[in-house]
Amino acid sequence: MEFRFDVCVVGGCGHVGLPLALSFARAGLSVSIHDINDRAIATVRSGRMPFLEEGAESVLREAIGKRLEVANDPALVSQSRFVVVVIGTPVDEHLNPTFNRMRSFFETLLPYLIDGQCVILRSTVYPGTTEKVAKLIADAGRKIHVAFCPERVAEGRAMHELAVLPQIVAGCDAQALEMADELFRRICKSTIVRSPLEAEITKIFANAWRYIHFATANQFFMIATDYGLDFYRIYEALTTDYLRMAGLPTSGFAAGPCLFKDTMQLAAADNNRFLLGHAAMLVNEGLPNFLVRHLRARFSLEGMRIGLLGMAFKADSDDPRESLSYKLRKILQYEAAEVLCTDEYIDDASFLPLGEVLERADLLVVGVPHRAYRTLKLPASKPVIDIWNIYGKGTSLT
């Protein structure tokens, strides 16, 4: 069968789908995006990125209306040889994964699928999800090849990393594997073939490993601080010209839409025996409370204005999802007279300009180490709590 498009990325106007769609278009493929976010669609159609992504906007401007079509139209799915689905398995309010959203999504998508297509799951999923999706489609009498090719790039650097990192590919049948491998070899350096379950667990292990890494640094930070020591003096002693410690990250908020959620998915998949994951969650999610406890011991917070510098979940990003700066704000709002928030990239009516926060705040806390904050000339009279040590003066908590 002849298809109008090589690829349709479903949910393709987001942080995972859009860089992927642009990478396919840059490789000369004919690409469509089906998304239900009409606002993001309008932005992409105008040749503008709806979020920060290094190197993406120039590719978008060159591809839109030529090799890239964007619409809220599921009929685009029927016109594409490959259908890449950027829908992950969410966790519920008790941090347990739920397949219901994935099932409902594919039941809605089924009328638009064409026999012979290759459907590729892209987001992190609970182990066993790919085979469940394949069975759901097969039970509906459809002959669709289902694959899992996990996203494994850093948000904001996806366009670069898609081209240089190896891509894991897995298929529920030989044809699915062959087709998925063929597609991703158009945009990536190499591929690594695994079974669907191996690929799912590989991806979820990677996110849990990073989350545990950050928790290790944050636990060290807490211990040092409780001893009245500056963690970064110890960090320097640990890492200077000592390669065995080169992988130790600095302290800071470990958050975002993936690491915490996926660590909890792995815990659920292991019958809640993943003690390292649960411990990492307690450490990372507890860091805002730890900071406020030490601030309360040093300052009379009830009479102070606290300025939070940065609300995104990581540096030089405009993505606020699951950012622990918001948790810190909530705790401080209970303790302090006023909390003033600012961010270089997030458009929020409740945020104030950076200059106003610097002027009005009695105490400053670096929530996110945006590059713009590194060169600030901060008022010498105001204490600055810098758990990231972007100013090279330690955390100022002791």
DSSP secondary structure letters along 149-175: ------TT-HHHHHHHS-EEEEESSHH
- Phi, psi for 114 (deg, rounded to 5): -115, 135
The whole-number average pLDDT for the span 240-260 is 93
- Which of 206 and 88 is assigned the larger pLDDT? 206
Q: How far apart are CA 120 and CA 178, in angstroms?
A: 12
Whether 121 is in a domain gets the answer yes
Are the CB atoms for 395 and 230 separated by under 8 Å? yes
Q: Is the residue at 322 inside a domain?
A: yes
> Dihedrals φ, ψ of 188, to 5°?
-120, 165
Q: Identify whether the C-beta of residue 84 lies closer than 8 Å to the C-beta of residue 122.
A: yes
Which pLDDT score is estimated for 25?
97
CATH of the domain at 266: 3.40.50.720
H helices, E strands: number in the chain: 15, 12
In this structure, the answer to whether residues 153 and 220 fall within a common structural domain is no
The verdict on residue 180 lying in a domain is yes
Residues 368, 240 share a domain: yes
Cα gap 86→12, rounded to integer Å: 7
Report pLDDT for 319: 95
pLDDT at 93 over 80: no
Q: Are residues 178 and 134 in the same domain?
A: yes
Residue ranges making up the domain that contains 282: 203-385
- Tens digits of residue pLDDT in 34-48: 999 999 999 999 999
Which is nearest to 44 in space by CA: 85, 13, 9, 5? 13
Q: What pLDDT does 381 receive?
A: 84
Q: What angle (nearest 5°) sits at the alpha carbon of residue 61, between those of residues 56 and 67?
A: 100
Whether residue 394 is contained in a domain is answered as no
Q: Does 208 lie in the same domain as 129?
A: no
pLDDT surpassing 90 at residue 256: no
* Proportion of the chain above pLDDT 70, given as a percent: 98
115 secondary structure, DSSP code: T
Residue 152 has φ and ψ, to the nearest 5°, of -145, 35
Whether the Cβ atoms of residue 312 and residue 372 lie closer than 8 Å to each other: no
Distance from C-alpha of 294 to C-alpha of 45, rounded to nearest angstrom: 48
Same domain? 85 vs 118: yes
Q: Which of 140, 164, 194 is the last residue of a domain?
A: 194
Whole-angstrom distance, CA of residue 230 vs CA of residue 211:
23
Give the model's pLDDT for residue 170.
98
Task: Tell me the pLDDT band of 28, cut-offs 50, 70 and 90.
Answer: very high
- Dihedral pair phi/psi, residue 214, rounded to 5°: -65, -35
Residue type, 331: I
Torsion of CA 241, 157, 52, 149, to 10 degrees: -140
Say whether both 169 and 247 belong to one domain: no
Residues 286 and 137 in one domain: no
Say if 393 falls within a structural domain: no
Mean pLDDT of 91-100: 72
Helix (H, G, I), strand (E, B) or coil at 27: coil
Q: What is the pLDDT of residues 363-386, one digit of tens each?
A: 999 999 999 999 998 888 899 999
Q: Is the pLDDT of residue 88 over 80?
A: no
Q: What is the pLDDT of residues 47-66, one digit of tens each?
A: 999 999 999 999 999 999 99
pLDDT in tens, 187-215: 999 999 999 999 999 999 999 999 999 99
- pLDDT value of residue 95: 64
Q: What is the mean pLDDT of the chain?
A: 94
Whether residues 230 and 337 fall in one domain: yes
Q: What does the alpha-carbon distance between residue 128 and residue 381 come to, in Å, rounded to a whole number?
A: 56
Mean pLDDT, range 299-311, rounded to an integer = 96
What pLDDT is stored for residue 13 in this prediction? 96
**Same domain, yes or no, for 252 and 305?**
yes
Mean pLDDT, residues 317-335 taken together: 96
**128-180 pLDDT tens trace:** 999 999 999 999 999 999 999 999 999 999 999 999 999 999 999 999 999 99
Opening angle at CA 292, ends 290 and 293, nearest 5: 65
Domain check: are 264 and 358 in the same one? yes
- pLDDT at 96 > cutoff 80: no
Kindly tell me if the per-residue pLDDT of 181 is higher than 90: yes
**Is position 390 within any domain?**
no
3-state SS, one letter per residue, for 65-98: CCCEEEECCCHHHHCEEEEEECCCCCECCCCCEC
pLDDT > 90: percent of the chain: 89
Instruction: Count CA within 13 A, CB hemisphere, residue 255.
Output: 24
pLDDT at 395 exceeding the cut of 70: yes
Q: pLDDT at position 142, please?
A: 94
Give CA–CA dist 76/72, Å, rounded. 9
Q: Are residues 218 and 174 in the same domain?
A: no
Helix (H) or strand (E) holding 18: helix 17-26
| Local confidence band at 94 (pLDDT 50, 70, 90 cut-offs) | low
Say yes or no: 35 and 171 in one domain.
yes
Residue 396 resides in a domain: no
Mean pLDDT of 299-304: 94
Residue with tokens 């008022």: 379
Q: Is there a contact between 337 and 363 (Cβ–Cβ < 8 Å)?
A: no
Q: What are the percentages of helix, strand and coil residues in the chain, rounded to 5?
A: 45, 15, 40
The reported pLDDT for the residue numbered 100 is 83
Spatial separation of the C-alpha atoms in residues 338 and 66, rounded to whole Å: 51
